[in-house]
Amino acid sequence: MGYPARLLGRDEQIVMELRPHWKEIVWPTIIFVIGSAIAGTAAGVAPGGGEQVWLRGLALLIWLVVVGRWGLWPLITWWFTQYTVTNRRLILRTGVLSRQGHDIPLQRINDVSFAHNWFERILRCGTLTVESAGERGQIVLKDIPHVEDVQRDLYELVIRDQRDRLLAPDTERRPDSGEDDVRTRPLHDPGDGT
C-alpha cells in the first residue's frame, strides 16, 4: 500500500516509501501464532455436552482479547504506519480507524540525525530525528529500516531543495543558456559533488 499519487502536488515525485522495521512485528506475530494454537487446542479438547459451547466461547473470547490486543492490533498498526519522502516534503501517516498526518516541507527541515544501538545496527534500523523550523520542533521516527541510508538521502534532498531555491530565479531567467539545470539531476549524480 503506497502513498496515493493523487495526493501528490504537481511535479512532486516519491523518492522513498517506508514503514517501521519488521522487528516491530516479530512479537505480535509470535503472539498471534501461539495464541491461535492454544485457543484452537483449548476449543478442540473441550469436553462434550452443554459445557462445550461455553468453553469454546470462553476460548474464543480469550483469544480475541489476548491475540487481538497484543497480536493483531500491532500488526495492523504497523501496516498503516507510513513514511513517504518526496522531492518536496516528508509525509507521515499513522492510524487505523482514525488517521493522523503530518507533512514537513523540505525547506523547513533544519537537521536530520539518526541513532541506533548495537542490536539495531545488526538489524540495520534505528531512530531518525528530523528537526524542523516550526512549532513541533523535533519529529522522532523509531525503527526506521536502513536508517543511515535514509538519513543521508533525506539530508541530500534538503540540501538539493535549498540549492534549487537559491538557483531557481537564475535558471528561470536563463532557460536556454545551455547550463545544466540542477533540478533535473538524479539524486546520486557523481558530478554534483555530493
What confidence score (pLDDT) does residue 142 get?
Answer: 94
Q: By three-state DSSP, how is residue 158 classified?
A: helix
List pLDDT tens digits, range 82-103.
999 999 999 999 999 999 988 9
What confidence score (pLDDT) does residue 174 get?
Answer: 45
Give every strand in the sheet of 138-145, ordered side by side: 109-115, 125-132, 138-145
What confidence score (pLDDT) does residue 177 get?
Answer: 45
Tell me the pLDDT band of 2, cut-offs 50, 70 and 90.
confident
What confidence score (pLDDT) does residue 190 get?
Answer: 40
Ranking 14-18, 88-92, 155-159, 176-180 by mean pLDDT, the lowest is 176-180
Task: Kindly tell me the burial class for residue 125, based on how many C-beta atoms sit within 10 Å of its own C-beta (0-12, 13-18, 19 or more).
Answer: buried
Q: By three-state DSSP, how is residue 166 classified?
A: helix
Residue 175, pLDDT > 50, answer no
H/E element, 55: helix 50-67
Q: Rounded to an integer, what distance in angstroms lies between the CA atom of residue 105 and that of residue 132?
A: 9
Residue 163, pLDDT > 80, answer yes
What confidence score (pLDDT) does residue 4 get?
Answer: 72
List pLDDT tens digits, range 61-77.
999 999 999 999 999 99
Mean pLDDT, residues 115-124: 94
Residue 53, pLDDT > 50, answer yes
Q: How is residue 148 written as a grid cell?
A: 543511515
